[in-house]
Amino acid sequence: MIEVVSLDFGGTIAYEVGEDHVLYYNVLRELGYTISVDLVKRGLVEAKGWWRREKARTGRVWCEEAYVEFVERFFSSIGLPVSRSLALKVVDLLPHRVAFRAYDDVEPALRELRERGFRLIVISNVSSLKNLLIYLTRIGLMKYFELLVASGSVGYEKPNPKIFNIALKALNIHPRKIVHVGDDYKADCLGAEAAGLTGILLDRMGVHGDKHCLRISKLTQLPTILTEISR
C-alpha cells in the first residue's frame, strides 16, 4: 500500500511568475544600484553560460555556494565590483522577492491526499532547504508537508537515487510505499524508479505520450491513480 506521496517543486507544485532579469534588476535597485535592464539581462545570460560550463566540467550541484559564485560572475559581467558581501545580500534577498504561484490543481489535490491519510513530502532540485522552505511558505502550502529534501543541502540532485534514499531513510519507509510525482521524466520518474520508488510523470501539456511510465495531466488525478496502484 502507498503511504507517502513525494512531489517535485518547480513545474509541479508552483511556477515562477516574471522574468529573472527583472527580478535581479529590482533587487539591485533595492540595494541602491541602478543598472539598465538590458545590461542586467546580458549579465545573467553570461552568468548562466558560466554555470552550464562549470556544471558540465565538474558535475557540481547547484547550492548556496554556487549561487553566490553565480551572482559574483553576474556582477563581473555588468561591471559591478565583485564583492562577496554584496553577493551574499543578493542571494539572501532573491528567495524573498522571486514570485512563485501554485498551480490551481495543487492545493485541492494536497487537501484530498491528506484527508485520505497520505503523508506528503517534497524532493526538489533547489539551492537549499532554507530557500525551499521560503518558497512553500510564501505560497501558503508548507502546512501540508512533513519533510523537505533539497538537493543543494544534501549534495545530490535528481535523478541521482541517493536524494530519494535520503528521504526514505528520514521517513524510515520501504521504497514501494512511496510514489514521487514530477514534471521531468528523467529527473523525477527515472530517478525515483532507480531508487525503487514508483515514479509518476505530471504531463500538464500532454507532450510526453511517448514515455513509458505512469502519467497524469493534473494533480487532482493522483488520488484515483493511487487507488489503482494499491489494488
Same domain, 56 and 93: yes
Q: What is the pTM of this model?
A: 0.94
Bridge-based pairing state of the strands 99-102 and 14-17: antiparallel
Distance of CA 179 to the CA centre of its chain: 17
CATH number of domain containing 129: 3.40.50.1000
Q: How far apart, in whole angstroms, are the C-alpha atoms of residue 56 and residue 58?
A: 6
Q: Name which of 171, 222, 229 is nearest 8 in CA terms.
A: 222
Report the helix count and the strand count for the chain, using DSSP H and E: 10, 8
Q: How far apart, in whole angstroms, are the C-alpha atoms of residue 65 and residue 1?
A: 40
State the pLDDT at residue 187.
97
Which run of H or E residues covers position 194?
helix 191-194
| Residue carrying C-alpha cell 485541492 | 108
Q: How far apart, in whole angstroms, are the C-alpha atoms of residue 72 and residue 84?
A: 7
Picking from 44, 75, 99, the residue at the C-terminal end of a domain is: 99
- Divide the 231 residues of the chain into consecutive groups of 10 and give the mean pLDDT of each group: 96 96 96 95 97 96 97 96 94 96 97 96 98 98 98 98 98 97 96 97 88 92 89 70
State the pLDDT at residue 191.
97
Picking from 79, 99, 119, the residue at the C-terminal end of a domain is: 99
State the pLDDT at residue 127.
97
Same domain, 110 and 215: yes
Parent domain of 76: 18-99
Let me know: does 44 contact 21? Beta carbons within 8 Å: yes
Q: How far apart, in whole angstroms, are the C-alpha atoms of residue 157 and residue 52?
A: 15
The three cell numbers of residue 54 are: 562549470
Same domain, 109 and 212: yes
Same domain, 130 and 86: no
Same domain, 140 and 82: no
State the pLDDT at residue 212.
83
Which residues, in sequence order, are CB contacts of 228 under 8 Å at separation 6+?
none
State the pLDDT at residue 209.
79
Let me know: does 141 contact 107? Beta carbons within 8 Å: yes
| Helix-, strand-, coil-residue percentages of the chain, each rounded to 5 | 55, 15, 30
Render the burial of 71-86: b for 16+ CB within 10 Å, e for the rest. Answer: bbbbbebbebeeeeeb
State the pLDDT at residue 229.
84
Same domain, 137 and 149: yes
Same domain, 117 and 157: yes
Picking from 73, 99, 125, the residue at the C-terminal end of a domain is: 99
State the pLDDT at residue 133.
98
Same domain, 146 and 64: no
State the pLDDT at residue 74.
97
Which run of H or E residues covers position 201?
strand 198-202
Amino acid, res. 133: L
